[in-house]
Structure 1
Amino acid sequence: MRRNAFARLAVAASVALIALSGCGGGEKPADASDEAATRTIEDSTGTEVTVPTKPERVVALSEQDLDAALALGVTPVGTINGRGQTGPSEYLGDATEGIEIVGDVGKPTVDKILELEPDLVLFGAAMDEEQLAQMRELVPATVVTYGVEDDWKTAFANTADALNLADEATQWLTDYDTKVAEVSGTFGDNAGATVSIVRWNPDGPGIMLHEAFASLVIQDLGLVRPENQQEPGFAHTEPLSLENLKRIDADWLFVGTLVPGSEEKLAEAKENPAFAELDSVKNDRFIEVDGTLWTSRGGPLGALQIVDTIAEHLGS
């Protein structure tokens, strides 16, 4: 319940930001682009795709696309389960109610998608070319919104372009930058602190890599990863043994769990003397967070939630 309530607040804050800037909810002045039924865009693969000017039945086949669409005031008719979850990304809370599930990440069910009669499919990253070709044949308005190595802001902009909401996304990011600057200004002695981000797995802790989603939000806030956590990449390291537990330490330690069995293993680890010797633990700077957000892929609403969590703990 607490997680859903927090997610509702983040979604409401995003909508409020858009409304205050004059970019959300209200009718836009009619222009030439509104009069046309379709428009042609170039997706992240360089493919030209004809999409509806005002899509009404959107299917989002990635966590980032779902997050981005909701941030822009668009509720898809279909989406996929979040990684390691049995529904959409939990951090989005009640905002996903009523959205049909059409499969898992990278494994959408074509029949379920077609039953929803989509006029636009936000495909996410093209990890399976055969799957993409099939989807383009069945739903020509299928847009690959980002590459695997694209950051969340690039993905957000591409999703917004497909939805014909590029201006709204630009304003959203401007408001985000303003909030980030405000929060950073409250850090005091925590300015420039080192932050470790860890996904605790059943077989041990994996450190989120330098370009992982939460890592990028941390960098926006002027915080840094420890020197031994500069490995490039978008996922996480191989699980560490408890003998190497010191590698996860930093001024602040944020740990999330995602897959079944992880919470129990984290609870066991916290009873280990090596865990108690971490500086972050001794200084009461060990924070358990939502692994569906901090240790997976996310979008603008997720970024806002991370900023809010950091503000809660590091802000003055």
Structure 2
Amino acid sequence: MKSPSPYLAAGIAALTLALAGCGAASTSEDESTTDADTRTVTDATGTEVDVPAEPERVVTLHYAATQPVYDLGFMPVGQGAFDPGIVPEDIEDEVGSIPVVADAEEPKLEEIAQVEPDLILAPNIYDEEVVTQLEDVAPVYTFTLRGGDRAEWTQRTEEVADALGVPERVEELQEEFRSRQQEIADTYTDVIEGTTVAVIGSYEENSFYVWGEENMTGTLLTPLGLTWSERENAIVEDEPEPEAAVSPEKIDSAVGDADVLFLDSNLRAEVNPFMRDLQETTLYKELPAVRNDRVFPIGKNTVAGYTDANYTLDRVEEALQEMRES
């Protein structure tokens, strides 16, 4: 990541004054603190971090941690910025009321200090200087957002659970999710068997994304027994991560072998304007899956947690039911 901006650096002075005031007011409390009040955990970078035994005021600096936090039964007191539509409708107002204390580039130190966190969950995108500045506010646990383990979305939830001290809750989520995958696989065997799927998304003009079965969505679909597109797998075969941007002119050679096409969407089953533009092209309309009316929104391909994963299973189950009835 780039060096801290002048704004971030300027915030340090104000932050130092604020922390100094807090320290003076709470000296007697600090003196009574015992080792039982903290736990030592190892974060995604291999760093040992002393975190509160029972965190009460957690800040998440990216939505990839915000969702696991509420999946595990907590709500942060500060959060990173996120796009509308990726939060479940039933908690949209609650999550939307939480102060945003980080943008896509960097944390906002003054805003973070104002919400008085006792634990900060930071993505592994910040340089050491930024992490050090955050540590002046509260203990910092770094979780996996980028890198070779990116597709292991369940690992990220495990990391957050470790930081929060609730590993038993993530075990419950895992067991429930795997049971649901098996139930869908058993219920729709007749539809799933021999069905080839592909997943695409679009985030800019004149381009769309394809993913191989080793990506996040693949971990949701292939355990159901669905077969991944050989063409899509081939395109990403030599990529460092199982994804690639492709020109719209190559859409048939990318996913033309798929019986079913799943589209990246938000949690309202809405695709973005770039995907809508792609859907208006002749080559897209000529895809076998499109001609056979086998195209379905599937939710977020960048799975933040079990909320995203279960939303995808909801959409897949609806698609399988529709295919059975057609």
Native 8 Å contact 1:246 1:278 kept in 2: no
Cα shift at 1:106 = 4.3
SS in 2 for 1:79: strand
* % identical equivalent positions: 26
Against the structure 1 CA distance between its residues 219 and 128, is the aligned structure 2 distance closer, same or farther, given a 3 Å change threshold? farther
Q: Which residue of 2 aligns with 1:238?
A: 245
- The answer to whether the aligner puts 1:146 opposite 2:153 as a matched pair is no
Unaligned runs of 5+ in 1: 1-34
Structure 2 counterparts to residues 152-231 of structure 1, below 5 A: 152-187=153-188, 188-191=190-193, 193-201=195-203, 202-230=205-233, 231=236
Cα shift at 1:195 = 1.8
Q: Which residue of 1 aligns with 2:49?
A: 49
Q: Which residue of 2 aligns with 1:251?
A: 259
In structure 2, what is the Cα distance between the partners aligned to 1:104 and 1:275?
A: 35
In structure 1, what is the Cα distance between the partners aligned to 2:145 and 2:250?
A: 36
In structure 2, what is the Cα distance between the partners aligned to 1:112 and 1:271?
A: 43
Against the structure 1 CA distance between its residues 132 and 93, is the aligned structure 2 distance closer, same or farther, given a 3 Å change threshold? farther
Cα shift at 1:130 = 2.9
**TM-score (norm. length: structure 2):** 0.75
Opposite residue 237 of structure 1, the aligned amino acid is A
In structure 1, what is the Cα distance between the partners aligned to 2:140 and 2:275?
A: 41
Native 8 Å contact 2:231 2:253 kept in 1: no
Native 8 Å contact 1:180 1:221 kept in 2: yes
SS in 2 for 1:99: coil
Cα shift at 1:264 = 4.0
Cα shift at 1:157 = 0.7
In structure 2, what is the Cα distance between the partners aligned to 1:281 and 1:68?
A: 34
Cα shift at 1:192 = 5.3
Against the structure 1 CA distance between its residues 156 and 299, is the aligned structure 2 distance closer, same or farther, given a 3 Å change threshold? same
> Which range is displaced more, 96-105 or 64-73?
96-105
Against the structure 1 CA distance between its residues 47 and 168, is the aligned structure 2 distance closer, same or farther, given a 3 Å change threshold? same
Native 8 Å contact 1:212 1:297 kept in 2: no
Native 8 Å contact 1:42 1:49 kept in 2: yes
Compare relative contact order (CA 8 Å, sep 6+) and give the higher one, 1 or 2.
1
Native 8 Å contact 1:57 1:118 kept in 2: yes
- The answer to whether the aligner puts 1:310 opposite 2:316 as a matched pair is yes
Unaligned runs of 5+ in 2: 1-34
Opposite residue 123 of structure 1, the aligned amino acid is A
Structure 2 counterparts to residues 272-311 of structure 1, below 5 A: 272-290=281-299, 293-294=300-301, 296-311=302-317
SS in 2 for 1:56: coil
Output one character per residue of 1:70-117: Cα deviation in whole Å (capped at 9) or x when no partner: 1111011111123xx2x5x62433422321111223422122111111
Q: Which residue of 2 aligns with 1:108?
A: 107
Q: Which residue of 2 aligns with 1:269?
A: 278
Output one character per residue of 1:283-312: Cα deviation in whole Å (capped at 9) or x when no partner: 11111344xx23x34211111111111111
In structure 2, what is the Cα distance between the partners aligned to 1:65 and 1:56?
A: 16
Cα shift at 1:233 = 5.2
Cα shift at 1:174 = 0.8
Opposite residue 203 of structure 1, the aligned amino acid is N
Against the structure 1 CA distance between its residues 112 and 243, is the aligned structure 2 distance closer, same or farther, given a 3 Å change threshold? same
In structure 2, what is the Cα distance between the partners aligned to 1:288 and 1:166?
A: 32
Structure 2 counterparts to residues 80-119 of structure 1, below 5 A: 80-82=80-82, 85=83, 90-95=86-91, 96-119=95-118
